[in-house]
Structure 1
Amino acid sequence: MSSVNKVIIIGNLTRKPELRHTRNGTAVTTLSIATNDRRKIEGVWQDVAEFHDAILFDRPAENCCKFLDKGRQVYVEGRLQTRKYTDKNGNDRRKTEILVDNVQFLGGKDGSRRNTSSSNNAPPKAPKKQSQDSGFSGPEEDIPF
């Protein structure tokens, strides 16, 4: 059986992206994105933030650095990748990041809706039509968690 490694998030940038280049000259940037989830903790609803690093290359990386700023809302689509590295104290570490296939610039900090799309030279994909039988029989079905 094949597997699926797909991530879609919408969140806000926690800092302005900075353009870097690999040894062979490929443009690269990291988007630091915060997403919020509302959870009930000890009877009180609270917003809980999650932080994600998303990696882009080539033209999409350049466009993000040119047009995005801290606080800007973005839509990111890609796949998870875990890399190993050694920190400054010599400890082996692992970091899970999103390798971006598609990024869309959404509303700004002021809530404006300037939609801009940037992807790795791929045309936008049409949404897949879902079949009528989703395999879910309704609220009575037991959820396995």
Structure 2
Amino acid sequence: MTVTHATFTLERTYPVPPSRVFAAWADAAAKARWFVPDGTHELDFRVGGVETVGATGPDGTALAVTSTYHDIVPEQRIVYSTTLSGGKALATVSITTVELAEDGEGARLVLTEQGTFLDGAEEPAWREQGTGDWLDRLGEALR
């Protein structure tokens, strides 16, 4: 039984205003296109709302992700907590803060995640890589 704690911060600049980045996060259909390329996705984007993702891991394990939104400031900030389970085992619990700001004619996004990784089921580096990948897909969707 092991517990690993880790925090990472990722930054991206997108060539659109913060309102467009926020809208891509808040609209269920738009978010599904960049956030969940394979799997199921449901989004209730409001404080107290829940987002769920069902997918399959590389080894065929069923993955279940559940996020709850705790703070939403339109076009500025999103704070949510997430659990990730593989099969029936809880793998991670995390809290994520997304900050948006104007950056010239575009938007700067800063995402900070603080995670608790349980029993080696997921590694912090894997989560950071995966999060970076979907932030890159968000950038492609915004172009």
Q: Structure with the greater relative contact order (CA < 8 A, sep ≥ 6): 1 or 2?
A: 2
- With normalisation by structure 2, the TM-score equals 0.24
- With normalisation by structure 1, the TM-score equals 0.24
Structure having the larger proportion of residues in helix: 2
Mark the structure with the bigger radius of gyration.
1
